[in-house]
Structure 1
Amino acid sequence: MEETDVLTKMAKASRTGNTSPKQEKKKQVCLKILRQLAEDGHEAAQKPGFAAELQAHFNRLPTRYALDVHVDRAEDVLTHKRLLEEAKVPENRPVFHVRAVQVLPVESQDVPLSPSGHKPLSKSRLAPPVFGSSANLEALAMDFNSKSVVHGEESDGSHHSDGSSHLQLPMHEVTFSTVDKPKLLSQMSALLADVGLNIREAHVFSTTDGYSLDVFVVDGWPSEDTQNLRRALFSALSAMGKGAWVKASSATVPSSPQPSQNGVQNGTRSSSEPSVDDWEIDISQLKCNKKVASGSFGDLFRGTYCGQDVAIKILKPERLNENLQREFQQEVFIMRKVRHKNVVQFIGACTMPPNLCIITEYMSGGSVYDYLRNQKALLKMPMLLRVAIDVSKGMDYLHQNKIIHRDLKAANLLLDENEVVKVADFGVARVQSQSGVMTAETGTYRWMAPEIIEHKPYGKKADMFSFGVVLWELLTGKVPYADMTPLQAAVGVVQKVL
């Protein structure tokens, strides 16, 4: 049979050792999904070229999609693939899929695992969420069950699985796909809240070709009914209008901005300016899990926002002053306007003192600075070129939008799980004035251009100087001017003796 031949070829290819561990994981999961579909006799598995299509689906999504997806639910992967394909048609966006799901309470955790590592599916008429049930969801289901017993509620068969004596909390899985754009997660969260749904878990993925796949596990709908829930979501989407889901062709930044916390300039609000509500986060959905770095003015945490892995930069309240708040507002002002695969993605911010924080995507690979220090040898030329090209693409995008970074260095370049480099940390970045020149010293001495050190007018060439120092870092794996103090290095650069 054709699907057997395809499975054999994929299994053989996965043993060649010519792929990275992350690509290998995607291939293994894809192989399991194909095998599951073939065993189920699904017609998709018979389609010529389907194996390549399915592998392309996994390749366009991050590795964590393959790691998290429930391989026993192969049809859910087909649903995701279909939604992403439908989202390519502008008139369809956003496309969504709704289904009722069952979350087993904590007491059911002693069920033996299947060979795939997941609990086997129960004989109930409802499947679990596609990415499995987290401990939080299971605890929520257990809490609902306990309260039902306390209040003396009896099951009438409407919310429980066959053979179960426990009430089940009505839960649904809502999956969206549309073009990826800034503040999409906040838009989706607001949409679900508008129809009375509470987000209990979220899995948010961005594809390599600019689309999003967002999977939410929600409660708040009174029954397992999906038809009326679809109608409610469709009505809410219609009320928002198609324009809400259109991605701007490029981020436009005013050439001479005067940002303020309320977005008002010269007594009037610009119609092109997003309001504070467009990027203000719901602080109750934010969780800090682990401190990963600490500085003089703030701390960096790894955490979650609506279930998505994020990086959280929190300013220290005791260090807040007028200048620090101004820099914070400037960073938010810039980050919410940029969108590029080589610039760290802004998710939202809390702008209410003293709880000032900025939320961005979490970059699991750490900084290029740390990457260089952890290498036992110098970077090989292919890797060095990839890093340099990624940085140059990100900086070119910023400069096209008249943004000068002013603190470009290896420590402010971050790696994602696929070793794609993204420019980060816009704390001292500025939008270039209409005259094209700026003054004032900022940045880090070892990477700073001489015109900035001397307080002379400067432009985007200052970033080019810093980029040259970054290239030196990549080539040598060393800190620039390591045998000098920062001030000595600055004097040497200005006097052209270095």
Structure 2
Amino acid sequence: MTLLIRQHPSYFEPSTSELPQGCAPTFKMSVASTMLARKKTKLEVFQAYSKKLSERGDIDMSAPGFLESLRDHFNRLPTRYALDVNIDSLDVLSHKRLLEEARSDPTAVSFAIRPVEVVVSRHRDSSQSPTISQSRHKEKTYLPKPAFGSSPNLQALTIEAGEKIADEDMASPSGHNHDGEHMTFYEITVASADQPKLLSRLSEALSDLGLNIREAHAFNTNDSFSLDVFVVDQTERQTNSNLEELLGDRLAQMPPPSGAASGTPQLKLPAEDPIASALSAMQQIPARPGSPAADDWEIDIAQLQIDAKVASGAFSNLYRGSYCGQEVAVKILKDVQDDTSQYQEFLQEVSIMRKVRHKNVVQFIGACTRKPNLCIVFEFMSGGSVYDYMRREGMLSLSQVLKIAADVSRGMDYLHQRKIIHRDLKAANLLMDEHNIVKIADFGVARIIETTGHMTAETGTYRWMAPEVIEHRPYDEKADVFSFAVVLWELLTCKVPYSEMTPLQAAVGVVQKGLRPGVPASAPPALGQLMEACWAQEPGKRPAFRDLTPRLQLMLQAAKDEESRRAAAAALAASKPVPSGGLLSKLRGKG
């Protein structure tokens, strides 16, 4: 993978307008100004930024195509980029250059590193000014603020650090007290062609270098590129140039986007007749004659008929079809011949699905393991996913929530007894049959628990991920219990967890701030307590599914009884005759 590193002077040298004389940078914003900012459009932000560049006097605004390319930069990124980025600096131009470098070579990862600074007041005496004196400011060399420095996560970090520093001063035996403390972080900006699991791979690369992610902002452009901005600090201090070299070496190990390495477009099924193309491609592979008993799950392609596409994902397409007269779902992998790790995940999924048979786990029927046409065949779930069901039906009753939860808990208890961790439990991976029985699906990232009982390496989906998985610490089956608690929140609210945040921002909040979705008001106390226990920060404090299942079944029976009682009371009230007498008849002289 090509690496492009750019240290533009304008990117690393703060302008004088960034730091007001006599005061430290502040990240405070009133509620009114926040609401006003949120009403701005990308065009208005572009115009405001262009005006600020013109006022600087050191930017050639008349260069051919400059303003057009700047407007195009804002248009290609989501509105939240324009609303959140610091337009008082040259960060936007730096982001634009990095994306242009990535576009010029889609196999490249273009990145830049710069130190950024947050100043924390250390005054404990309320009579003193919270700002640092101008004379002390003159003695310091200032670093720029982060490009998205007004975010709540970084504000909270600053406050916590300030309190810690003040406590250390109070405890100092020498009585030495400083006026202010400059906290130095690094801002790492990465631009590249977008690809599946990009955020996961970038966060893993930073973690491998001993960098703690304090803040993260991820943006996708409308032409399939990604701009990711991280604010980090280090467990081991290194020079900027050394860190740049180490990060460059680490990012070079990331796989290039699918199809980019060879310069050829990804292989896709023709839009005019995708079913016929899929069948034609698969039938080029002859069936394996005389397959031994150990491979009796290897499907006979001649017996597989594909009828229609059901869904499309980053790595595979899902079709409805039939196999030997049975209605089935067929998961066909895309371009897997170019990605060895993806092929290994496919084999792992086949291996795990062959081992399981439970009424709350999707039933495996067979697979074709011959490249390049790899597929998995399993029972067809006519009810679709629980995620789709919630959006189709609206808010669920308490008994529906608990019934789904009990089904999932039974399936997960079975998997854990078989030493299998799912690692990506969420409503989208739970399927329903025609009888509304819920079954666990998608074992693409599932794994067998190792003999040590713990695993490492991050996987899954950030919004549902346990803190120990996010931090790349050893973990066990209790990581699934954490995800199950977030699934319960999904079922009660019919919403996506942390929808107001980017996935990586949510992950940072879960680890650094103990962020949780919160127990919904509609949850009974017993269910709320169960959720809080399941998403406890420490894995050892979370219950096992073998304990959760009977608790959920008791809650389900109680909910059904209560709903039956209310239905009976409502029916009785509706059947009562209306009295013929009363106030109206008395007014008419008939009482």
TM range (shorter): 0.3 to 0.5
Mark the structure with the bigger radius of gyration.
2
TM-score, structure 1 as length reference: 0.46
